[in-house]
Amino acid sequence: MAQGKKKISSAFIYFFGSFGGILFGYDIGVMTGALPFLQTDWHLENAATLVGWITSAVMFGAIFGGALAGQLSDKFGRRKMILMSAIVFMVFSVLSGVSPDMGEASAYYLIIVRMLLGLAVGAASALVPAYMSEMAPASARGRLSGLNQTMIVSGMLLSYVVDYLLKDLPGEWAWRLMLGLAAVPALILFLGVLRLPESPRFLLRNGNEAQARKVLTYIRKNPNEINKELESIKETAKEESEANKKATWGTL
């Protein structure tokens, strides 16, 4: 897509922007249905601490994924980091679903896997809205924030629906499929973002103005609008660079 002249529709951009929220929401909600089956299968009814860690491990990992996402995307690019996050999400969703039954050690395995999964959840939830807002026209950027929140709760709803549909399976299969099926929206996100170009903001900040202009021609109609946006990005990048030089731990 990045090599052609066909414009990328805003609907296509927003659609795959929404999937970042769906990934986040699905993993927040899926344990609601999976946990009772997991507790019974692994005999964790009286292991409140382990159950608590299994449940919250994704959110713990997401703290670090979200914190690191911005710096890594500035270095490697928004698109590449979203694709990497989707891959990590797929891999560790599947690994969650195929957790080995090794007694108490199984719980620690699942905690670690879900923490690593959380890195991708946090990164995707931070990067996807940022990327989409940089791709979208200025008039539509404000709405993306609300759309992302809507998709998070939609992802939670989707997880409840999946949990309900799988509840009559044998317990040892039910929770595994509930967790493993999180790989499906991650795959959809990966395939969608694979067709998108890099953010023009990232390209311009890395000295590739020609490619940034080319990307903007895919998604902007007016050449004057493109010139104006390029100047705006340059000005914002300059202001951010100056602000970063003044930032200290005291500021934080």
pLDDT tens per residue across span 59-100: 999 999 998 998 899 889 888 999 999 999 999 999 999 998
pLDDT tens per residue across span 136-184: 777 777 776 677 788 889 999 999 999 999 999 998 899 999 999 999 9
Answer yes or no: are the C-beta atoms of 68 and 125 closer than 8 Å: no
- What is the architecture of the domain spanning 10-196? Up-down Bundle (1.20)
> Can you list the alpha helix ranges (DSSP code H) found in 77-199?
78-97, 104-135, 138-166, 171-180, 183-194
Which long-range CB contacts under 8 A does 136-142 form with residues at least 24 apart?
136/10, 136/13, 136/14, 136/219, 137/10, 137/219, 137/220, 138/229, 140/10
Confidence of residue 2 (pLDDT cuts 50, 70, 90): very low
Domains in the chain: boundaries? 10-196
- By CB atoms closer than 10 A (0-12, 13-18, 19+), residue 99 is buried
